[in-house]
Amino acid sequence: MKFARALLLAALPLTLGLAACDKKGDAATGEVSSSEPIAKISAPAGKNWTETFAVTPEGGYLLGNPNAPIKLIEFGALSCSHCAAFSKEGFPKLRDDYVASGRVSYELRLFLLNALDMPAALLATCGSPEAVIPLSEQFWEFQPTMFANLQKDDAAFQQVSNLPVDKRFAGIAQLGGMSEFFASRGIAAAQGASCLADTAKATKLATTNEQWSKEFDITGTPTFFLNGSKTGVATWAELEPMLQKAGAR
């Protein structure tokens, strides 16, 4: 089977301690160009920007006005605790105050840090494209439960980590409770199993991640880009003032 890049990701260790998912001391300046306040932009009749989704050519999932003057991109890993913290502390306000205004669009690009992220990403993208961001946000809330499930049985965890690569994704998903989590949210067991076994998709995800890593110098997650510039911040408290400086006020 020709899925060397997927194998590369699957061969990474099953890391349970992910406090370092965000690399501090990034070389990014964090500078954002100051802009005059931008007026709110109404959605087309009968539509709401917080319910407007699109798949981007770069492989991301976009929420909001596709022509928004302020464009925010998050490279986020589903296994990353800092991404989960941002999801809890910042995403509701980002969606309801900033994306809803039509001034800001939010694009999520699922990044792969370790072997936990591949099955999580395969399942999160297993349904309709418009479900990816909501499922990812819900998964970040579920994340502590996933870690607790994986830590319950060291022997089972070790057994999963030693499975052949083409079976490891399903093994991780089952042991961590991912399969059950997504099944309760519309990804039926058979559908999920099919997505977990889709090595062509896994290869594409891994290849895309390699490209992102090189092109955007992604050294940790979450990594945010605002209007094409790397922000160098990882929390909502740091990011919100940048959105406002860019005109979302």
pLDDT digits (tens, 9 = 90+) for 14-62: 544 443 475 544 444 567 888 899 999 999 999 999 999 999 999 999 9
Residues paired with 76 in a beta bridge: 110
Q: What is the pLDDT of residue 30?
A: 67
Lowest mean pLDDT segment, chosen from 36-50, 153-167, 218-232: 153-167
pTM: 0.90
Is the pLDDT at 8 greater than 70? The verdict is no
Tens digit of pLDDT for each residue in 110-157? Answer: 999 988 999 999 999 999 999 999 999 999 999 999 999 988 887 888
In CATH terms, 22-245 corresponds, of 3.40.50.300, 3.40.50.10140, 3.40.30.10, 3.40.50.150, to 3.40.30.10
Tens digit of pLDDT for each residue in 79-106? Answer: 999 999 999 999 999 999 999 999 999 9
Q: What is the pLDDT of residue 91?
A: 98
Q: Are 28 and 230 in contact (CB under 8 A)?
A: yes
Q: What is the pLDDT of residue 165?
A: 72
Sketch the domain layout of the chain as residue ranges: 22-245
Which residue, among 81, 79, 76, 112, has the nearest Cα to 201 in the 3D structure? 112
With 0-12 / 13-18 / 19 or more C-beta atoms within 10 angstroms meaning exposed / middle / buried, residue 13 is exposed
Lowest mean pLDDT segment, chosen from 25-34, 111-120, 189-198, 221-230: 25-34
Q: What is the pLDDT of residue 159?
A: 87
Arithmetic mean of pLDDT, 164-186: 92
